[in-house]
Amino acid sequence: MPAPIGISVVTISFDLPYPDDSARVFAPLAHQPWAHWLDSAWPASRAGRYDIITALPRATLVTRGMETRVEYAGGGLEQSRDDPLELLRARLGPPRPRVSAPFVGGALGYFAYDLARRPHRLPSVARDTEGLPEMAVGLYDGALVIDHHERTCRLWASDDAAGRGWMERFLAGMRGEPEADDFALTGEIESSLDRDAYQRAFAQVRKYIHAGDCYQVNLALRFAAPCRGRPWPLYRALRARNPAPFSAWLNFPFGQVLSSSPERFLSVRDGLVETRPIKGTRPRSDDPGEDARRMAELSGSAKDRAENLMIVDLLRNDLGQVCAPGSVTVPSLFALESYATVHHLVSTVQGRLAHGQSALDQLAAAFPGGSITGAPKLRAMQIIEELEAERRGVYCGAIGYLGADGSMDTNIAIRTLTCAGNRLRFWAGGGLVADSRADAEYQECLDKARALREVLAGFEQRSSKKPQSGPCPPPRL
């Protein structure tokens, strides 16, 4: 069995000046390997509250295919072909006592959609063009937590020396160090499926639905473009244009992940599990009257409500595998939420962990999220593998943390870009059901990608000036 990392118990905290913009605090760390920021995009996202910033992990776990590498900050390397989530469980160890912050130490990073190939034994048809690991998480002894409701900024650390070293970095950030990035797209954005190819894939999904193979399948388009430089300015522009409560910037030696996701996948706090699936979308309009009409149309749409309810039922089952019998409830159905470019229907499903079950057990039971696969989940994933030309990678996986105290909060990695190997990639998709129409579903994908494309338009290369900070790092372990 693998040995626990021995994450230090957080015993000390420091109060720092509250920053109105957390980006100023994080900027000095943005390019440090394994520096991560879970960003609530306050105040524009409205639903957010906490920002979590961390760096300098005690150890890292990186999974590629059947092998996971565990590297230790003090030197040392382990390699294993065991279940990556079980490797993570062993190294997190038993839960520590809670403190008054959402995250002060534990695991933080991403779980890519393709990590599901391990438990689900999916066929291997789609190409892996992204080249990123299926799991990349760091194990951290502390974090900076910014509470935008209470207007506080507190650094949590394992000891006084570590805390004061971190404090110097963050105070430098609050003084507003200048950025030196020069990010740009160096070519056109291309899609993995043009309209004709999408319609052919759509027709095949319809055949499977009418044959009784499935009820709903999430079909997605991949967009990609060549790029140069590091995308920190792109993330700053993205969070300004498309603020969302489950946003993130993750910086790895092999590339960057930029997310502006509006969707919570799973949270666990004091044994209470919550998931908030999104299903049902309409584009925003600049005309207030038209925008209100679209909101009313979405709220009253029997088709969109039926799609949402299918996923709610799937997630009730996923939670029921780990939660106590009778504890799974649906406190909210079809709530309307509005973002920069789209309106969504959002439901809430809750449950309470059964005795002996953990947040990691719930993650394993529900991964990947039903809202971005379909129903039944396994058959929908098999169809996705058949019809999407490229593997999803980070897209539709989960970004977030598993706290040393047994808590968890993760997003569904939609509205998410990756930058590696001089290529920028992002996706957009939607759920197909029996009465879906190909043109409308294709347009919905474009509507969901609209905010990302509008931000990227500001980074189209307009000169031959060389980058100041080099190309996006190539994929590597």
Render pLDDT for 392-448 as a digit per residue (tens, 0 to 9): 999 999 999 999 999 999 999 999 999 999 999 999 999 999 999 999 999 999 999
Q: Are 370 and 315 in contact (CB under 8 A)?
A: yes
**Is the confidence at residue 285, as pLDDT, over 70?**
yes
At residue 175, the pLDDT reads: 61
Look at residue 158 in the predicted model and tell me its pLDDT. 78
pTM score, two decimals? 0.92
Catalytic residue among 279, 385, 390, 444: 279
Residue 136 has φ and ψ, to the nearest 5°, of -145, 105
Q: Is the dihedral of CA 101, 54, 340, 308 positive or negative?
A: negative
> What was the pLDDT predicted at 160?
78
Tell me what pLDDT residue 24 has. Answer: 86
Average pLDDT of the segment spanning 361-383:
95
Q: Are 136 and 60 in contact (CB under 8 A)?
A: yes
Number of domains the chain contains: 1
For residues 45 and 204, which has the higher predicted lDDT (pLDDT)?
204
Q: Is a pLDDT exceeding 60 seen at residue 209?
A: yes
Confidence (pLDDT) at 5: 53
Q: How far apart are CA 459 and CA 453, in angstroms?
A: 10
Q: Report whether 133 contacts 120 (CB < 8 A).
A: no
**Whether the Cβ atoms of residue 103 and residue 65 lie closer than 8 Å to each other:** no
The two beta strands, 59-64 and 67-72, are antiparallel
- Measured at the CA of 49, the angle between CA 62 and CA 166, to 5 degrees, comes to 55
The predicted pLDDT at position 462 comes to 55
Q: Among 117-126, 165-174, 285-294, where is mean pLDDT lowest?
A: 165-174
Strands 374-375 and 216-228, bridge-based pairing:
antiparallel
392 Cβ neighbours under 8 A, 6+ residues apart: 112, 113, 114, 220, 222, 384, 427
Is 263 a known active-site residue? yes
**432 in any annotated domain:** yes
Secondary structure of the chain in the HEC alphabet? CCCCCCCCCCCEEEEECCCCCHHHHHHHHCCCCCCEEEECCCCCCCCCCEEEEECCCCEEEEEECCEEEEEECCCCEEEECCCHHHHHHHHHCCCCCCCCCCCCCEEEEEECHHHHHHHHCCCCCCECCCCCCCEEEEEECCEEEEECCCCEEEEEECCHHHHHHHHHHHHHHHCCCCCCCCCEECCCCEECCCHHHHHHHHHHHHHHHHCCCCCEEEEEEEEEEEEECCCHHHHHHHHHHCCCCEEEEEEECCEEEEEEECCEEEEEECCEEEECCEEEEEECCCCHHHHHHHHHHHHCCHHHHHHHHHHHHHHHHHHHCCECCCCCEEEEEEEEEECCCEEEEEEEEEEEECCCCCHHHHHHHHCCCHHHCEECHHHHHHHHHHHCCECCCCCCCEEEEEECCCCEEEEECCCEEEEECCEEEEEEEEEECCCCCHHHHHHHHHHHHHHHHHHHHCCECCCCCCCCCCCCCCCCC
Q: Record the tokens describing residue 266, joined without a space.
A: 């799973």
Q: What pLDDT sits at residue 43?
A: 73
**CA–CA gap between residue 115 and residue 110 (Å, rounded):** 10
Beta partners for residue 154, in sequence order: 15, 145
Q: What is the CATH number of the domain that holds 334?
A: 3.60.120.10
Please determine, for residue 463, whether its predicted confidence score (pLDDT) is greater than 60: no
In a domain, 206, yes or no: yes
Q: Is the dihedral of CA 430, 119, 260, 428 positive or negative?
A: negative
Asked whether residue 9 is assigned to any structural domain, the reply reads: no
pLDDT at 14: 87
Mean pLDDT of 263-289: 95
Q: How far apart are CA 279 and CA 370, in angstroms?
A: 10
Mean pLDDT of 257-285: 95
The mean pLDDT value for 217-245 works out to 94
**Tokens 């971005």 belong to which residue?**
372
Q: Which of 400, 359, 339 is nearest to 38 (CA)?
A: 400
Please state, in angstroms and rounded to a whole number, the distance separating the CA atoms of residues 432 and 374. Answer: 8
In a domain, 415, yes or no: yes
Q: What is the pLDDT of residue 214?
A: 94
Tokens of 331: 């406190």
Question: What percent of the chain is predicted at pLDDT more than 70?
Answer: 91
Q: What is the distance between the alpha carbons of residues 85 and 441, in angstroms, rounded to a whole number?
A: 35
Token readout for 209 is 């639905």
The single residue of 130, 134, 263, 444 carrying the catalytic annotation is 263
Domain range enclosing 395: 14-180+187-457
pLDDT of residue 42: 76
> Of 220, 217, 242, 279, nearest to 445 (Cα)?
220
Q: What is the mean pLDDT of the chain?
A: 89
- Give the per-residue pLDDT at 6: 54
Examine the residue annotation and report whether 279 is marked as an active-site residue of this protein: yes
> What is the spatial distance between Cα 340 and Cα 342, in angstroms, rounded to a whole number?
6
In a domain, 474, yes or no: no
The pLDDT score that the predictor gives to residue 472 is 39
Asked if the structure places residue 1 within a domain, the reply is no
**What is the predicted pLDDT for the residue at 45?**
64
